[in-house]
Amino acid sequence: MKKIEQKSAPHAPSKSLIQWGLGAKVFILPVLLYILFTSIAASYLLPPIFILFFYRDFATIMLLFFPYDNNEHQRE
């Protein structure tokens, strides 16, 4: 018996296109996850780093969160 070679249909996409399509999906997903994660992480990490960089004194940091009125006890 003769071996029949299978030929791809003319309308079928080439193998490289299929591989590129899969590669794009596999590549884009981690990139999107990375962007999402870094944006979330930055929103949580940058404010404390910003505060600590500009207000290195602990008392100043505490005053940012708990403002204290020094003249409060003198009021009637």
CA proximity to 64, closest of 75, 48, 76: 48
Asked whether residue 43 is domain-assigned, the answer is yes
Burial class (CB in 10 A: 0-12, 13-18, 19+), 69: exposed
Asked whether residue 52 is domain-assigned, the answer is yes
Give CA–CA dist 38/44, Å, rounded. Answer: 10
Asked whether residue 37 is domain-assigned, the answer is yes
CA proximity to 42, closest of 53, 34, 31: 34
Asked whether residue 74 is domain-assigned, the answer is no
Give the model confidence (pLDDT) of 12-59 as tens digits.
Answer: 656 665 566 666 667 788 888 888 888 887 777 777 777 777 766 777
Q: Please state the domain count of the chain.
A: 1
Structural domain containing residue 32: 18-67
Q: What is the per-residue pLDDT for 10?
A: 62
Question: What's the predicted TM-score (pTM) here?
Answer: 0.34
Q: Buried b vs exposed e over 46-67: b needs ≥16 C-beta within 10 Å? A: eeeeeeeeeeeeeeeeeeeeee
